[in-house]
Chains A and B, each alone.
Chain A
Amino acid sequence: MYDGGKIVIGLIIGIGLFLSPFFYNAGTAAKAPDPQLTEKAKEAEVCVANKEYMRESHFSLLDEWRHTAVRDGERYYTAADGKKYYKSLQVTCLDCHSNKTNFCDQCHNYLDVDPYCWDCHIVPEEKK
């Protein structure tokens, strides 16, 4: 007796599962994120750190700010260029980046990141 038939059925199911990302992506149009800067952010030109660092590790900085501000009471951050910033998501970050939908959410949604900022902080009202 041979069991080839059953094995081939199992093989097709298994390979199908492994190929599922191909099938899934074939049916959908992927749109790359397009974060927009507000006029105020464009005017300011510099963020609290360089662009690459902010793209890749802004959450580390925010975490550090949270820890040092909340636990140690250090409310001011000195940037690499010597400029001082008040450590606050709502007052400092969102002052320039007031467009959450077109800035934060662009990449966060694309990469399915669900930051817990808004568990405590109030989602900014966006001016249309």
Chain B
Amino acid sequence: MNFVLSILFSIFAVTVVILIPWIGVGALDLRVLFGIVIPYAAMATFFVGIVVRVIGWSRSPVPFRIPTTAGQEWSFPWIKSNPIDNPKGTWGVVVRMILEVLTFRSLFRNTRLEYRRIDGVPKIDYEWEKWLWIAALLFHYSFFVIFLRHFRFFTEPVPAFVTLLQNLDGFMQMGAAPFNGFGLPGVYLTDMLLMAAVTWLLLRRIFYSQIRYVSLPSDYFPLFLILALGTSGMLMRYLLRVDVTKVKELAIGLFKFSPVAPEGIGVLFYIHLFILCVLIAYFPFSKLMHLAGVFLSPTRNLSNNSRFVRHVNPWNYPVKTHTYEEYEDEFREHMIEAGIPVEKQAEPKAETEEKE
């Protein structure tokens, strides 16, 4: 699909996602549907979908080791090996995986091919491109902090770590804009960082020709969805507020399995909730499954022990073998007769020797 079409298609899809609750709650007042039924359905899809997909992955055989060996392998004691980038055993793999999951080392190594002209001479350059890594770190950690901050809406009493996160996140105690009426609740750094990072992750798909070429609607759609989710959330916090007390009643009701859909919550909340529902329901079917998939990266989570551990492919059917020992047992007499040397002498011959 042409990239303009891909983007338009994704924008159209997200617009529909926004319009559905807008009409559904704003005009038709279907609070129970959008506040209770759809969130439960989305959660069920999310959990069942993830379990089904991960179980499916777990049934895949691991016939051999394919770790990327980005360091010196363990060999002789006088050759310095790299236990993390070329792990020999479990602990190396654990450290490697922790660094991968928490600091995205694969993205850190990202390079980008560029055509340049130096003094009129075309030149190919490989640039160490760290913006993807920086934006990905900012995006994922901001999203994580925002997710944890939302615990204040669905836990009672609110755990201490949520309060701590809120205080750290809003420590600048500043408004979003230098004029009044815009953001007394101290602006959260993660809100701004998330939007900036997602915007960059979108722009790089548009401006880098190589990435534009491989981008599909399934890449743009989640980005637009998260942009819409962040925008609706920030609008609610900073501008068009809704009654958060009732929002919390609804949220706690969902998690206590005694759902209520209180009257008088602004439609913006239902738009925010519906975007989230679409996001988590879409989750198991999309590239977002890298949340679970990152733990199953075979080039990262396998130790490089092929030199000293035998890995048997479980696909192997039982192969009929005929070893040399068996071969010799079968043809020994003929071999001796023909004068071919044998490893084990024939039994009867030994008996005759004893008789003599």
| A56-B243 contact in complex given A63-B175, A68-B180, A112-B166, C-beta closer than 8 Å | yes
Q: A21 to B181, Cβ gap below 8 A?
A: no
In the complex, chain B residues 68-95 whose Cβ is within 8 Å of any chain A Cβ:
none
One digit per residue, 1 when the CB lies within 8 angstroms of any chain B CB and 0 when it does not, for chain A 16-37 equals 0011011011101011110000
**Choice from B47, B62, B166 contacting A2 with Cβ under 8 Å:** B62
Whether the pair A62, B62 counts as a contact (CB closer than 8 A) is: no
State in angstroms the CA–CA spacing of A32 and B59 once bound together: 47
The answer to whether A7 and B181 touch across the interface, beta carbons within 8 angstroms, is no
In the complex formed, the residue of B with least CB distance to A116 is: B173
Cβ-closest chain A residue relative to B179: A67
Q: How far is the CA of A1 from the CA of B252 in the complex (A)?
A: 44
Q: B312 at interface (Cβ–Cβ under 8 A)?
A: yes
Assess whether B242 is in contact with A8, with CB atoms less than 8 Å apart. no
Complex interface bits, B151-178 against A, C-beta within 8 A gives 1, otherwise 0: 1111111110011001100000101000
Q: Is A3 an interface residue (CB 8 A)?
A: yes
* B145 CB → nearest A CB, Å: 15
Q: Is the CB of A111 within 8 A of B57?
A: no
Q: How far is the CA of A32 from the CA of B252 in the complex (A)?
A: 10
Q: Does B184 touch A at the CB level, under 8 Å?
A: yes
Q: State the CA gap A1–B62 with chains docked (Å).
A: 5
Q: Cα distance A14–B304 when bound, in Å?
A: 26
How far does the Cβ of A49 sit from chain B's closest Cβ, in whole Å?
A: 12
Chain A interface, >50% SS class = helix
Contact across chains for B55 and A11 when beta carbons are under 8 A apart: yes
Contact B162 A11 (CB under 8 A): no
Let me know if A64 is at the binding interface, CB within 8 A: yes
With beta carbons under 8 angstroms apart, the residue of B63, B156, B180, B311 that contacts A110 is B156
**Looking across the interface, which residue of chain B has its beta carbon closest to that of A63?**
B184
Judging by beta carbons under 8 Å apart, are B185 and A15 in contact?
Answer: no
* Contact of B245 with A111 in the complex, beta carbons under 8 Å: yes
Specify which chain B residues have a CB less than 8 angstroms from the CB of A11 in the assembled complex: 50-51, 54-55, 58, 292
C-alpha spacing A8/B167, complex, angstroms: 36
Q: Contact between A25 and B180 (Cβ–Cβ < 8 Å)? A: no
CB neighbours (8 Å) of B248 from chain A are 110-111
| Interface residues in B, total, Cβ within 8 A | 48
B241 close to chain A: CB less than 8 A: yes
In the complex, which of the residues B59, B173, B256 contacts A30, with contact meaning CB atoms closer than 8 Å? B256
Contacts of B208 in A (CB 8 A): none
Q: Given the complex of chains A and B, what is the CA–CA distance between A112 and B245 in angstroms?
A: 11
CB pair B62 A3 closer than 8 Å: yes
> Which residue of chain B has the shortest Cβ distance to A107 in the bound complex?
B245
Closest to A35 in B: B245
A108 CB to closest chain B CB (Å) equals 10
Contact of A21 (CB < 8 Å), options: B155, B173, B295, B312? B155
Name the B residues within 8 Å of A114 (CB-CB): 163, 166-167
Q: B5 at the A/B interface (Cβ < 8 Å)?
A: no
Q: Flag if B155 contacts A59 (CB, 8 Å).
A: no
At the interface, yes or no: A55 with Cβ under 8 Å from chain B?
yes
| Residues on A with beta carbons closer than 8 Å to the beta carbon of B63 | 1
Residues of B within 8 A of A57 (CB): 241
In the complex, the answer to whether A25 meets B54 with C-beta atoms within 8 Å is no
Within 8 A of A (CB), among B237-280: 241-245, 248-249, 252, 255-256
* Pairwise interchain contact A15-B50, C-beta atoms closer than 8 A: yes
Contact A63 B181 (CB under 8 A): yes
A14 with B292: CB separation less than 8 A: yes
Task: Provide the bound-state CA to CA distance between A81 and B214, in Å.
Answer: 60
CA distance A18 to B163 in the complex (A): 19
List residues of chain B with CB under 8 Å of any chain A CB: 47, 50-51, 54-55, 57-63, 151-159, 162-163, 166-167, 173, 175, 180-182, 184-185, 241-245, 248-249, 252, 255-256, 292, 295-296, 311-312, 314
Instruction: Sample 8 A-B pairs with CB under 8 A, ordered by A number.
Output: A4-B58, A4-B59, A25-B154, A32-B245, A32-B249, A60-B181, A63-B175, A112-B166
